[in-house]
Chains A and B, each alone.
Chain A
Amino acid sequence: MSLSFITSAIQFIGRVALDVVSHLGRYSILSFRALIFCVVPPWRVRSYFRQMELVGVDSLMVVILTGLFTGGVFTLQIIYGFRMFSAESMVGPTVAMAMTRELGPVLTALMVTGRVGSAMAAELGAMKVTEQIDALTVMAADPVKFLISPRIIAGIVMLPILTTISDAVGVVGGYFVAMAKGLDPGQFAGRIQDMLVMDDIFVGLIKSGVFGFILTSVGCYAGFFCKGGAEGVGKATTGAVVVSYVAILVGDFVMTAYMF
């Protein structure tokens, strides 16, 4: 009995491992092809701009709100501690650094995943199960080039821009909170310029570009390979969000630990 338990456990682990490897394989091939197609003419510039609008412009409001309140609440938290050591002049630089290096990129990516990554999975999933993707193939219109390349590029380009806005708005949020807590403007802003170096901003922007790639490519992959009608589309959508969240947070840790 114990032997059959062991063999079935090993079988289970084997199956899961095979599953993961096959997903990773197909995901890598799909992403790679989508990236290659970006540099192969002919380009349909209009669909690239359309996706940039959907990813970037349409996410602006939610990104601004997130940035504003994150900067605000972060300031609220640190201001007491910093007061104890009379380090009020460090509040501004700390907020700016936290926003540009960590909070801006990560929170922007998570918000955009919820808005855009899930929508991409749902849209491509619906196209898959209603054979619209097969229809593209039969018309000799490569669905990877036509549907996926513009989405991934939109993610890589727009996430850093959104993140920059989020960073700026977050510092503004921190500024308002600091004023409300009795700091004066000079105390808050005075040392930001000499404490915050260009590297902090670059680190954040590179991270956000990677996150933009992750959330769009995972969303597209989930939709593109989805099966089984409306239920399958639902599963693909939730799956895309969960996997993107985890990948973004793990990716953030790895990049922070080993690269920056």
Chain B
Amino acid sequence: MPAPTIVVKDLKKSFGEQMVLKGVNLTLDSGKINFIIGRSGGGKSVLLKHLTALMTPDSGDIFYDLFSIFRANKKELFELRIHMGLLFQEGALFDSLSVGENVSFPAWYHRTMKAKDIKEKASELLKDLGLEGSFTRSVGELSQGEKKRVAIARALILEPQVLFFDEPTTGLDPLLSGVVDELITEVGKRTGATIVVVSHDIAATLTIAHKINLIHDGRVFLSGSPEDFKISKDEVVKEFIFGEDSNKAI
């Protein structure tokens, strides 16, 4: 499967009375690093769960190239998910397995490589993320930041063609954030995957994003390049890029 272009069409989702997505329209470019930003509680994680077909919308649709993921049958969805990687905001590591087993899990489950190669690949990923020698540690003893990085390694092991990261650098110190940002860029270049990153880290967003989508009040408020965002005169956008005090500063 080549890296798809993902198109979200008028996606709506409510939980009880609360309408979280009020008609989201956006395009996530093939082989590019697409960012999704917006205030906390604005529905970014919910949007990612729709993009991975973990949730079904009240209305609207999502297309991977021309293929609707909500009309796909079980087998088609299976094929799609083999090429999909998702980093959950909270990691969602399997706490009954060790660090190494967690990272190896997708490859082990789908028997895509020999056991020896899986171990090698998993160790290499852990090393890239500053977790050398953690292979046999148990998940329970990891810090939040370590968990996040193990989960990133797990999302990468099958070298998927579509990668979703839900706040990959939240909870990491600046040094490690830099390492993760670099890794995302490097993976994008090497595998040509379509990458989608939900982030609060404006500096990283403006440096590594090819395209940024700002979610505001359940809709896409602005979609464009980092340049577009930097020069925007809109209050909502400025608040995100320059922080709450942008008015006073000017």
Contacts and interface: CB of A to CB of B under 8 A. Distances in A.
A256 interface: no
Contacts of B94: 127, 132, 135
B88 A134 contact: yes
A134 B166 CA distance: 14
Contacts of A137: 54, 81
Given A130-B92, A131-B92, A132-B93, A140 B82 contact: yes
Contact of A139 (B77, B93, B105, B111): B105
B163 to A, nearest CB: 11
Interface string B82-97: 1010101010111110
A140 B105 contact: no
Nearest to A130: B92
Contact of B81 (A123, A130, A132, A140): A140
B82 A135 contact: no
A134 B54 contact: yes
A138 interface: yes
A38 B119 CA distance: 29
Most buried by B among A126, A134, A146: A134
B92 A132 contact: yes
Contacts of A127: 94
A42 B112 CA distance: 14
Contacts of A146: 109
- The interface size bin for chain B is 20 to 34
A161 B189 CA distance: 57
Contacts of B77: 140
A78 interface: no
B203 to A, nearest CB: 28
Interface string A96-130: 00000000000000000000000000010011001
A135 B92 contact: yes
Nearest to A133: B92
Q: Specify the main secondary structure of chain B where it touches its partner.
A: mixed
B79 to A, nearest CB: 8
B90 A138 contact: no
Nearest to A123: B96
Contacts of A139: 81, 105-106, 109
B52 A141 contact: no
B31 to A, nearest CB: 21
B78 interface: yes
Contacts of B78: 140
Interface string A133-163: 0110111110000100000000000000000
Contacts of A42: 111
A134 B52 CA distance: 10
Contact of B110 (A126, A131, A132, A140): A140
Nearest to B83: A140
Contacts of A134: 49, 54, 88, 92
A138 B165 CA distance: 13
Contacts of A141: 105-106, 109-110
Contacts of A126: 95
A155 B92 CA distance: 28
B213 to A, nearest CB: 21
Nearest to A138: B86
A132 B97 CA distance: 12
Contacts of A132: 92-95
B161 to A, nearest CB: 13
Nearest to B102: A135
A131 B90 contact: yes
Contacts of B95: 126, 130, 132
Contacts of A131: 88, 90, 92
A135 B88 contact: yes
Given A130-B90, A130-B92, A138 B84 contact: yes
Interface of B: 49, 52, 54, 77-78, 81-82, 84, 86, 88, 90, 92-96, 105-106, 109-111
Given A132-B92, A137-B81, 9 more contacts: A132-B93, A134-B49, A134-B54, A134-B88, A135-B86, A135-B92, A139-B109, A140-B77, A140-B82
Which 5 A-B pairs have CB atoms at the shortest separation, nearest pair first? Answer: A140-B81, A131-B92, A135-B92, A138-B86, A141-B109
Interface of A: 42, 123, 126-127, 130-132, 134-135, 137-141, 146
11 contacts: A131-B88, A132-B92, A132-B93, A132-B95, A134-B92, A135-B86, A135-B94, A138-B52, A138-B84, A140-B110, A146-B109
